[in-house]
Amino acid sequence: MKKIATVLAALGMSLLGPGAVAETPLVYEASTSGSVGSGDFAPYYMMSNNGGVLTQPKSFTLRAKAYKDLSLSERFSFSFGVDALGGYQSEYTQYDLADYPIAGQGKHPSAVLLQQLYGEVKYRSLFLSLGMKERSSALFNSRLGSGDFIESNNARPIPQLRAGFVDFQDFPGTKGWLQIQGELSFGKMVENGWYDEHFSFRDGGVNLGKYYHYRRLYLRSNPDKPLSVTVGMQQTTQYGGVTRTYKDGKVIKEDAVDMNLKNFFRPLLPIGGEEAEGNEGFCYGNTIGSWDLVARYRFADDTQLKAYFQWPFEDGSGIAKCNGFDGIWGLEYNNPNKKGIVAEAVIEYIDFTNQSGPIHWAPQFFDGPGMDGQATGNDNYYDNFRTFAYSNFGMSIGSPFISSTIYNRSGSNNIYDSRVRGVHLGASGFVLPSLEYRVLFSYRRSWGSYNLPRLELGENTSFMIEGAYHFPKIEGLSVKGQVAMDKGNMFGDNFGVLLALSYQGFLNVFGK
């Protein structure tokens, strides 16, 4: 390990030059975990916002990672990371298409995963990143919240090239009263092999080889003042690739996009283009977004209270907020005494039931009745006629509150429970100086979707309690336990217990 660190240090010094100052340390982690449980899936809170690495009720995992973060205080900085895990998870339960019972089909999650591999450089306020890196919400509490509507850490990371402002930057001429932050990325989905084990290849459709585009822009008022407000927008598009439609096990339609340079960058400027089979070229994919707002007030004792929302949209009607009360509405409490009984707490109300109404009629794309009126509803969050679910390896890229396709044991790639409404609560703190806890709870109802309403109301209750003990005499060593359960007809009745042992260390090998 010391030889590797010495080589990395020499490389870093050659990049930094003789005038370099201290860089951030190299962090290395090693962990092992095991879980047992009943039900067809790991409980919701063991699966969700966990990088998509755990889905089954029984597992044993070994994981190792090493990474170095960017130094925000230096003009030039670099970072990198590698993260791999291996082990065993119990088999998936799916329909047997021969006679349709639900049973294990002998298919398991991959025994070895390369979860993260990336490199980044920063110069002044700008950064450039290449590779697979776990990313979570830029504004919202990813550890206690239900998950960012656009980008949470619910799915495995997507290989991509990303650039933007490394942090909020002062807007010129405002003397710090207004700050700006933004990012832009293009990536390639590499989940084709996952469909071989999960898609039925009998009925329905699958999209292979699609691309991924993400962008956001946030404005923030002076964060040094007691009251600070952040507002902005996120937008993402899945596009391209080959879509095949199946019926009775045969391909009845194939639709491929020629990914030339023009089509590759088309999501940047949605200004129209060549039409394909009656669909407008500029949105030839699944484009979703959200309006985001956070209002934070800091009290005299440095306690903070945040009020926030995310308003989702799938098209122009959603952007104009014609989708009623749809959104994630939350309150967050932060105690500066991180060792307190309640260090952080989150409560959220989540509603995705309006979706701009049940009717979508755009007459310019249809031949037939002379109906000139237009209704842009049926937003059908996270689902699309061509790229299907907004997911990666079966897990939602955004909020897991809308159930991911991994729960579709029929082998379908569509979202069936997009019209959901419910509440989510999370809290964390310390019951002892070295004993930390985290509690998560949610309740939701589902009406299915406008395209396929549920005949019976869907309901789910999920709960998890986690305890982590940090050994005071061995810095970096900790043991964690989780107990979680699901109850209802959406995810099934699942129960699980997880135990993990981990160690984290630091090597100050970079810099002067």
Query: pLDDT by residue (tens digit) across 151-201?
Result: 999 999 999 999 999 999 999 999 889 999 999 999 999 999 999 888 888
The hierarchical CATH code for the domain 45-52+79-500 is 2.40.160
365 or 349, which is more confident? 349
What pLDDT does residue 12 have? 44
Distance from C-alpha of 472 to C-alpha of 4, rounded to nearest angstrom = 29
- Output the pLDDT for position 428: 97
Q: Quick one: DSSP state of residue 320?
A: T
Residue with structure tokens 């979707």? 449
What are 147's two structure tokens? Answer: 């998950």
| Average pLDDT estimate for 278-289 | 65
- pLDDT tens digits for range 437-487: 999 999 999 999 999 999 999 999 999 999 999 999 999 999 999 999 999
Break the chain into its structural domains and give their ranges: 45-52+79-500
Q: What length is written for the chain?
A: 512
Over residues 125-131, the mean pLDDT reads 97
The 3-state secondary structure of 202-258, one letter per residue: CCEEEEECCEEEEEEEEEEECCCCCEEEEEEEEEEEEECCEEEEEECCEEEEEEECC
pTM above 0.95, yes or no: no
Mean pLDDT across the chain: 89
Q: Are 491 and 462 in contact (CB under 8 A)?
A: yes
Q: What percent of the chain has pLDDT over 90?
A: 72
Residue range 402-451, pLDDT digits in tens: 999 999 988 889 999 999 999 999 999 999 999 999 999 999 999 999 99
pLDDT band at residue 98 under the 50/70/90 scheme:
low
Residue 275 pLDDT: 47
- Tell me, what's the pLDDT at 260? 85
pLDDT at 371: 63
Q: How far apart are CA 426 and CA 439, in angstroms?
A: 6
Residues 353-364: pLDDT tens digits? 999 888 776 666
- Region 42-59: mean pLDDT is 96
Interior angle at CA 437, CA 340 and CA 67, nearest 5: 100
- pLDDT score, position 76: 95
Task: Using the structure block, give the residue that is written with the tokens 């008022």.
Answer: 221
pLDDT tens digit sequence for 236-273: 999 999 999 999 889 999 988 888 888 888 888 765 54
What does the pLDDT read at residue 270? 61
Mean pLDDT is lowest, of 48-52, 369-373, 420-424, 490-494, for 369-373
Closest CA to 208 of 140, 259, 171: 259
pLDDT at residue 230, rounded to an integer: 98
Q: What is the pLDDT of residues 223-238, one digit of tens each?
A: 999 999 999 999 999 9
Residue 279 has what pLDDT? Answer: 46
Percent of the chain exceeding pLDDT 70 equals: 88
